[in-house]
Amino acid sequence: MSGLQAHGVVRSYGPTPALRGVSLDVAEGEIVAVTGPSGCGKSTLLHCLAGILRPDVGEVHWRGERIDTWPEAARSRLRRTEFGVLFQFGQLVPELTAAENVALPLLLAGTGRRGAGRAAREWLDRLGVAHLADVRPGAMSGGQQQRCATARALVTGPRVLFADEPTGALDTLGGEEVLTRLVHLAREQGTTIVLVTHEPRIAAYADREVMLRDGVVDPTGLGLDEPLVPVAGPGAVAR
Ligand SMILES: Nc1ncnc2c1ncn2[C@@H]1O[C@H](COP(=O)(O)OP(=O)(O)OP(=O)(O)O)[C@@H](O)[C@H]1O
Q: What is the pLDDT of residue 54?
A: 96
Å from CA of 123 to ligand 1 middle: 33
Question: What are the residue boundaries of the structural domains of the chain, listed by start?
Answer: 2-217
Q: What is the pLDDT of residue 180?
A: 87
- 184 or 88, which is more confident? 184
Average model confidence (pLDDT) across the chain: 88
Angle 98-108/113-126 helices, nearest 10 degrees? Answer: 130
- 141 or 235, which is more confident? 141
Mean per-residue pLDDT, 110-125: 95
Q: What is the pLDDT of residues 64-102, one digit of tens each?
A: 999 999 999 999 989 888 999 888 776 899 999 999 999
Q: What is the pLDDT of residue 168?
A: 77
Which atom of ligand 1 approaches the CA of 12 most closely?
Answer: 12
Q: What is the CATH number of domain 2-217?
A: 3.40.50.300
Q: Which residues have any ligand 1 atom within 6 Å of their CB?
A: 13, 16, 18, 36, 38-44, 198
Q: What is the pLDDT of residue 51?
A: 95
Q: What is the pLDDT of residues 126-152, one digit of tens each?
A: 999 999 999 999 999 888 898 999 999
In the beta sheet, which residues pair with residue 160? 83, 192
Q: What is the pLDDT of residue 202?
A: 83
Å from CA of 39 to ligand 1 middle: 5
Q: What is the pLDDT of residue 11?
A: 98
**150: helix, strand or coil:** helix
Å from CA of 97 to ligand 1 middle: 32
Q: In this predicted complex, what is the ipTM?
A: 0.97
Mean per-residue pLDDT, 204-230: 75
- Name the residue type at position 66: R
- Name the residue type at position 200: P
d(CA 50, CA 194) in angstroms, rounded, equals 9
Mean per-residue pLDDT, 176-204: 88
Q: What is the pLDDT of residue 230?
A: 46
Q: What is the pLDDT of residue 232?
A: 47
* E strand map for the chain: 4-13, 16-26, 31-35, 57-62, 65-66, 83-86, 160-164, 192-196, 208-213, 216-217
Å from CA of 96 to ligand 1 middle: 31
Q: What is the pLDDT of residue 185?
A: 87
d(CA 171, CA 169) in angstroms, rounded, equals 7
Instruction: Take atom 6 of ligand 1 and give the residue whose Cα is closest.
Output: 13
Q: What is the pLDDT of residue 1?
A: 52
